[in-house]
Structure 1
Amino acid sequence: MKLVCKIGEIIEEAGYLKKHVAKKVGVSPTQLSNWIAENNYPGADKLFKLAQVLNCKVDDLYEFEEEK
């Protein structure tokens, strides 16, 4: 199974600007982009803050996908 990031999709669906979300979460836009690109992952504290800003559950930010 592979962990797939849904943060970018959620931000887009909500109509937010990534730089606005990054500021609200307390990270740089570059850091947020790294999370979306799966170059690295947010810590638990940032996951909860991100979910709060995006008005979703932490579980919504990532999902498991079957590897082909």
Structure 2
Amino acid sequence: MKSRIGECIDKSGFKKKFVAGKLEVSPTQLSNWISGRSFPTIEKAFRLAKLLDVKVDDLYEEDEE
């Protein structure tokens, strides 16, 4: 799965540091989610989607591989 979290954050106008603070995760952890190195828990994914005013489905897209 390909992360679209970075795109969603950019569209929201929020700074990544603000988003990380709201979710109570480190900026490094958020960066790992954006790059696809790790994934948020279900709870964090729903909180992130709510904060960014998107659906959880919008945070990821299926890889073409």
- TM interval, short-chain normalised: over 0.9
Question: How many matched pairs?
Answer: 65
- Max Rg structure: 1
2:35 counterpart letter in structure 1: A
Normalising by structure 2, what TM-score? 0.94
After the TM superposition, list the runs of 4 or more consecutive aligned residues in structure 1 that deviate by more than 4 angstroms.
none
**After superposition, where does 1:33-52 map in structure 2 within 5 Å?**
33-52=31-50
**After superposition, where does 1:1-68 map in structure 2 within 5 Å?**
3-67=1-65
2:59 counterpart letter in structure 1: L
**Whole-angstrom CA distance in 1 between matches of 2:15 and 2:35:** 16
Q: Where does structure 2 lack aligned partners over 5 or more consecutive residues?
A: none
Q: 1:24 offset after TM fit, Å? A: 0.8
Q: 1:14 offset after TM fit, Å? A: 1.4
Higher strand share: 1
Q: Where does structure 1 lack aligned partners over 5 or more consecutive residues?
A: none
CA RMSD of aligned residues (A): 0.7
> What per-residue deviation string (whole Å, max 9, x for no partner) do you get for residues 31-50 of structure 1?
00010011111110100110
Higher helix share: 2
